[in-house]
Amino acid sequence: MAPTSVSAPASRKTSAKPAARKPAASKRLVVFVATRKGAWFFHGDAGRKTWKADGPHFLGHNISHVQLDPRDGRTLLAAAKTGHLGPTIFRSTNLGRTWKEARQPPAFAAPTGGLPGRSVDHTFWLTPGHASERDTWYAGTSPQGLFRSEDGGVSWAPLPAVNDNAQLRGWMGTVQDGTPDGPKLHSVIVDPRDPSHLYFAMSGGGVHESRDAGRSWTTLIQGLQVVEGFDAGDVSFHDPHCVRLCPGNPDRLYQQNHCGIYLLDRAAAPAGDAAADTWQRIGRKMPKRVGDIGFPMVVHPRDADTAWVFPMNGTDVWPRTSPEGQPAAYVTRNAGRTWQRLDQGLPGSQAWWTVKRQAMTVDAQATPALYLGTTSGELWIGRDEGARWSNIARHLPEIYAVEVAALP
């Protein structure tokens, strides 16, 4: 299907296009694929034409996320558990040639203040810390918890202002309230301008912000909708699926939510003004037959007006499949005023997979490519910013997360 444009009134101010020159092409790229049954790494050439598989790593383990440390370009962390064993973190300092287990994986503290004790089921999300804080990492878990490592992932400490905060704990609900494979703390974001400025999101339990390195948190749900009939003032009912901060404009965030696609411009008004903390539902401009429900949210490495989503069927019983069995990405290039369909090369019919919240990403090459992993175990590349899709791998286990990194 050719790209189609869905127009909307031009009311939102879009960002100035980045003045910085496009980066030179890296010699090598690596795509890190985390699956229900292990991890695979795909090494690509500079042209992103040929890919060599490296794996499986941790065959049989549930790997929720694999992340490369961009500060050294060689340290990898992998969040693992198995069907029977408890959770852990594996660490490699040589791009996956050898692995060593964390000495102290994320684990909740003993219960305090009358709150029930909790046990980490799995680490779901890994985020490298600020560029100035070498060896700092953050981990989000299921059930919801936030943890920090200051030694490169060897040992992890809980953040009590999240994990033991009675109000936040109330919004987290119980395991019974969570997504089918457990309630998640995800989208841990570090402001590239300030290591003390953090965000995280919870499914369910809203979006939260700290400006003091995680010692205190405020809630960022203004403007977000909840399922019809529920109280939007109750943080418990808010279900952000994926939140991303724009590298090209760290005052702008995009969000794929259970109830639509949103944009937040922190610089839209003076600090403290409600407009600076109010999400705008930009998904209303998506085609009605597709809707604006999905899991992943991807932002351009430089252009803050450009973002991608991968819609899924969120009607009636929530099939969580591609709408009408016709998978497609959608891109906006004007901060959500219009959206274009990107499905060239993807199956045109009877493709009932979808893409989980961590399983779609973008590289930072001069002309970026998108990468996505499907619930049916396929890895795809969307060349020219998603304009042309082709398959990299098939027959992998269910894909949980996809990350890409350029190597020197």
Partner 1 sequence: MKVLIPGALRSYTRVSHVEANGHTLDELFGDLERRYPGLRFRVVDEQNLLRPNMRIFVNGNSVRDLQQALQPDDAVAVVLALSGG
Position among 114, 117, 229, 408 found at the interface with partner 1 (CB under 8 A): 117
Among 24, 110, 271, 274, binds partner 1 (CB under 8 A): 110
Asked if 84 interacts with partner 1 (CB under 8 A), we say yes
Q: Does 82 bind partner 1 (CB under 8 A)?
A: yes
Residue 101 binds partner 1 (CB under 8 A): yes
CA dist 341 and 327 (Å) reads 10
If one asks whether residue 118 binds partner 1 (CB under 8 A), the answer comes out as yes
Cα of first residue to Cα of last residue in the chain, in angstroms, is 37
Q: Of 75 and 163, which has the nearer Cβ to partner 1?
A: 163
Element spanning 383, H or E: helix 383-386
Q: How far apart are CB 84 and partner 1 at their closest, in Å? A: 4
- Dihedral angle at the C-alpha atoms of 324, 326, 332, 335, nearest 10 degrees? 30
- 113 interacts with partner 1 by CB under 8 A: no
Q: Which is nearer to partner 1, 110 or 274 (CB)?
A: 110
Q: Shortest distance, CB of residue 141 to partner 1, whole angstroms?
A: 11
Does 107 engage in binding with partner 1 (CB under 8 A)?
Answer: yes
Binding flag, residue 105, partner 1 (CB under 8 A): yes
Which residues make Cβ contacts (< 8 Å) with residue 136, sequence separation at least 6? 128, 129, 130, 148, 149, 150, 195
Note whether 154 binds partner 1 by CB under 8 A.
no
Token pair, residue 395, equals 């027959």
Residue range at the interface with partner 1 (CB under 8 A); choices 105-113, 161-169, 192-200, 385-393: 105-113
Q: How far is the CB of 150 from partner 1 (least distance, A)?
A: 19
CA distance 26 to 97: 21
| Residue 160 interacting with partner 1 (CB under 8 A) | no
Taking the complex as a whole, the smallest distance from the CB of residue 37 to partner 1 amounts, in Å, to 12
Question: Is there binding between residue 120 and partner 1 (CB under 8 A)?
Answer: yes
Query: Could you tell me which of 219, 238, 191, 188 has the C-alpha nearest to residue 357?
Result: 188
DSSP secondary structure, 338-373, as one string = -EEEE-TTS-SSS------TBSEEE--SSS--EEEE
Residue whose structure tokens are 């795909």: 42
Shortest distance (Å) from residue 99 CB to partner 1: 10
Our finding on whether 153 is near partner 1 (CB under 8 A) is no
Q: How many residues bind partner 1 (CB under 8 A)?
A: 18
* Residue from 73, 86, 170, 348 binding partner 1 (CB under 8 A): 86
- A 10 A CB-CB count for 267 gives 12
Shortest CB 301 distance to partner 1, Å: 37
Q: Is the CB of residue 203 less than 8 Å from the CB of residue 183?
A: yes
In 167-220, beta strands by DSSP E = 184-190, 198-203, 206-210, 218-219
Residues that bind partner 1 (CB under 8 A): 82-86, 88, 101, 103, 105, 107-111, 117-120
